[in-house]
Structure 1
Amino acid sequence: MIVNRRYLEKFTEKLHTLPSSLTKSDLLISPFRLHQENELDIYYSPHNEYINRTATIVIAGITPGFSQMKTAYETAVDSLLQGRTLEQMAVDTKIAAGFSGSMRHNLITMLDLCGLPQAFGIQSAAQLFGDLRHMLHTTSVIKYPVFIQQKNYTGYKPAITHSPILSTYAFGHFPAELNHVTGPALLIPLGKAAETVCETLIRQHSLQNLICLSGFPHPSGANGHRLKQFSKNKEQLERQIRSFAAFVDFTIEKRK
Structure 2
Amino acid sequence: MLEQYLKFIEQLPNSRELTKEDLIHTNFLIAKENNLEMYYSPHNLCINNKAKIVIIGITPGWTQMKKAFETFVALKAKGKVSLCTILKETKKAASFSGTMRSNVIDMLDECNLHGALGLPSTSYIFGENRSLLHTTSLIRFPVFYKDKNYTGHQPKIESSRLLSSYAYNDFLDEISSLPQSSLLIPLGKRVESIINELKQQEKITQDCLQGFPHPSGANGHRVKEFSKHKSCLIDRIAYWRQSESNL
Normalised by the size of structure 2, how large is the TM-score? Answer: 0.97
| Partner residue in 2 for 1:236 | 232
Q: Which runs of 4+ in 1 moved over 4 A?
A: none
Q: Which amino acid aligns with 1:152?
A: N
Residue from 209, 212, 219 that aligns with 1:216: 212
Is 1:186–2:183 an aligned residue pair?
yes
Q: How many residues align?
A: 244
Aligned equivalents of 1:86, 1:171: Cα separation in 2:
29
Q: Which amino acid aligns with 1:227?
A: V
| Partner residue in 1 for 2:43 | 47
Aligned equivalents of 1:40, 1:49: Cα separation in 2:
22
Cα deviation 1:209-228 (Å, max 9, x = unaligned): x2111000011101011000
Aligned equivalents of 2:125, 2:117: Cα separation in 1:
11
C-alpha contact 1:54 1:135 (8 A) present in aligned 2: yes
Residue from 162, 166, 169 that aligns with 1:169: 166
Aligned equivalents of 2:88, 2:2: Cα separation in 1:
12
Residue from 40, 52, 57 that aligns with 1:56: 52
Is 1:9–2:3 an aligned residue pair?
yes
1:103-252 superposed matches below 5 A: 103-208=100-205, 210-251=206-247
Equivalent position SS for 1:47: coil
Q: Where in structure 2 are there 5+ consecutive unaligned residues?
A: none
Equivalent position SS for 1:59: strand
| Partner residue in 2 for 1:38 | 34
Equivalent position SS for 1:222: coil
Normalised by the size of structure 1, how large is the TM-score? Answer: 0.93
C-alpha contact 1:8 1:86 (8 A) present in aligned 2: no
Identity %: 47
Q: Which amino acid aligns with 2:139?
A: I
Residue from 94, 98, 111 that aligns with 2:95: 98
Give the deviation of 1:182 after TM superposition: 2.5
Aligned equivalents of 2:76, 2:233: Cα separation in 1:
40
> For the aligned residues, what is the CA RMSD?
0.9
| Partner residue in 2 for 1:79 | 75
Equivalent position SS for 1:46: coil
Q: Which amino acid aligns with 1:97?
A: A
Q: Where in structure 1 are there 5+ consecutive unaligned residues?
A: 1-6, 252-256
